Structure 1
Amino acid sequence: MKNLNDIEEKKKEIVERYGMFMEKNENFPPIAARIFSTLLFTENNGNTFEELVNFLGASKSTISTNLQKLGNMEIVEYYTKPGDRKKYFRLSPVGFLAFIDRDLKKVKTERNLIEEVIQLKQRANELITDPNKKFEFHEDHPYLDYLNSSVEGMETLKEQIINKCMKQK
């Protein structure tokens, strides 16, 4: 990347690709997904309404409607600066907590089911006398290890976000 225009073009490309990802994986409306993606670049500094309209090339009403949707979902929040009447929109830590909680619940449910499968195989193998009918069983369970690591990582991230939110208040 040779200059700021190249960076801006790359930013637009990433916003578009990440927006498509959010559409598909989070069922966000297209512009809401692009707003989310755009706000990832500005983090705590946020973007004004006008900046979002200009960058995304969408109408004011479309941006407004989608900001309201994201606000109602607690994914986007706004703040103001003293002496400045503009609203600055940024991603809300509460929204990230909702994503984490949802994913954490899914991973914990899968982990519990895998543990039940393992336990049932162990119990069944203790009762089955015919070696040809026993369940294949391994002492190590890399997928269960992966699920446990995922739960641990998400819980740590959740704590970090909560602590960051407490410091900001």
Structure 2
Amino acid sequence: MTIEELEKEKRLLIEEMGVCFENWDTLSPLSSRIFALLALSLEDGVPFEEIQETLEASKSSISTNLQLLQSKGRIGYCTKPGDRKRYFKIDDQQVINRLDEKIEAWKQEKLLHEKVLRYKEKVLEVKEIELKDSLQLRLSYNKHYIEFIDKMLQNLELLKENLFATYLKREKESK
């Protein structure tokens, strides 16, 4: 694969990821593309000039959107000894915070499904309705979905633990 092919693939991936971030995080199109660019970087931060060059946007637009991402806690920056540039990167804590948000959302969804299931069971009991196949199917949907959510929560918690351990290890190595 050539450098040009990699650059083309990078631009397409930035666009695809940018669209997702726009929808998931209600970020502006440019903020989403900046975040995507930073997510793809293998370096410890991307300088302002590279962001501007890659995304082909004005200095003021890049600056405004970098400030927005920083104010939302999505990104931060670092400096390097002897270099006046700021290098922007995704904030490590942001990843943990996003996982916490997802875990909380899944817990809320599970709670709702448990309430719906209990309600349906009460209706069947109070109305003394015979449990027909169609009703059994509706109840099993809620039960299976609750089981799925439990597994999802376990996996998200495990991912969070693994990421946290990785960050701690990286911090120790950088000292």
Alignment TM-score, normalising by the size of structure 1: 0.86
Deviation string for 1:17-66 (max 9, x for gaps)? 11011112211011100000001111552200111011111111111111
Cα distance, 1:61–1:130 mapped onto 2, change above 3 Å: closer
Which SS does the other structure have where 2:149 is aligned?
helix
Once the two structures are overlaid, the 10-residue window that deviates more, 43-52 or 121-130, is 121-130
Residue 93 of structure 1 is matched in structure 2 by 92
SS at match of 1:131: coil
Could you give the per-residue CA deviations for residues 75-108 of structure 1, whole angstroms, max 9, x where no partner exists? 1011112222211111012222232222221110
* SS of match in other structure, 1:28: coil
* Distance (Å, rounded) in 2 between the aligned partners of 1:129 and 1:20: 50
Residue aligning to 2:162: 160
Tell me the residue number matched to 2:40.
41
Whole-Å separation in 2 of the counterparts to 1:153 and 1:53: 37
1:15 CA drift (Å): 0.1
Aligned residues with identical type, % of pairs: 31
User: Structure 2: where are the runs of 5+ without partners?
Assistant: none
Aligned length: 168
Stretch of structure 1 that moved more, 109-118 or 61-70:
109-118
Deviation at 1:158, TM superposition (A): 2.2
| Offset at residue 124 of structure 1 (A) | 4.2
Q: Deviations over 1:100-146 (max 9, x none)?
A: 2222211101101112222333344444434279x924568321121
Partner secondary structure for residue 90 of structure 1: strand
- The answer to which of 144-153 and 114-123 deviates more is 114-123
Quote the residue 1:131 is aligned against.
Answer: 130
Q: Which moved more, 1:137-146 or 1:43-52?
A: 137-146
Any conservation in 2 of the 1:73–1:95 contact (CA below 8 Å)? no
Match of 2:144? 142
C-alpha contact 1:43 1:90 (8 A) present in aligned 2: no
When the two chains are superposed, the root-mean-square deviation of aligned CA atoms in Å is: 2.4
